[in-house]
Amino acid sequence: MKHSLLVILLVSVGLTAGIAQAANSTSINQFEVVELDQETDTSSVILPADDTGKLKFKNCAKCDTFNISMDSNSKFFVDKKQVDSASFREAMKTPHRFLMVHYHHVTHVVTRLAIS
């Protein structure tokens, strides 16, 4: 009886693992890239005069400058909390804070800026 239970248990575990792997394979094939990210810091960014202009930044001192657009749908985050533009601009005044720039992979329009 113990032998039969062990065999059933092993078959069940094997089937469960196989189903999980198949599900993961299917899910992976369904991913679509919609957003790209760039790491920088608050000292390496020039914000546009308003929230719908061009954002300019570098990843490093010797790196090329990125110029990407912002629009009215661009979101702002400080320490994982969504904030308004004015609060974000205030947080940008602190030098050398980590900043992630997230943007649409085709349009190159900023989807969100996140300071942490």
Structure-token pair, residue 100 = 């992630």
Provide the pLDDT confidence category of residue 90 given band limits of 50, 70 and 90. very high
pTM greater than the 0.85 cutoff: no
Q: Between residues 100 and 19, which one has the greater pLDDT?
A: 100
Q: Dihedrals φ, ψ of 88, to 5°?
A: -65, -45
Helical H runs in the chain? 2-29, 85-92
For residue 116, give the 3-state DSSP assignment: coil
The pLDDT assigned to 61 comes to 85
Structure-token pair, residue 58 = 């570098």
Kindly state the average pLDDT of the residues 40-61. 93
* Whole-number average pLDDT of the chain: 83
Q: Give CA angle at 96 (113, 87), nearest 5°.
A: 45
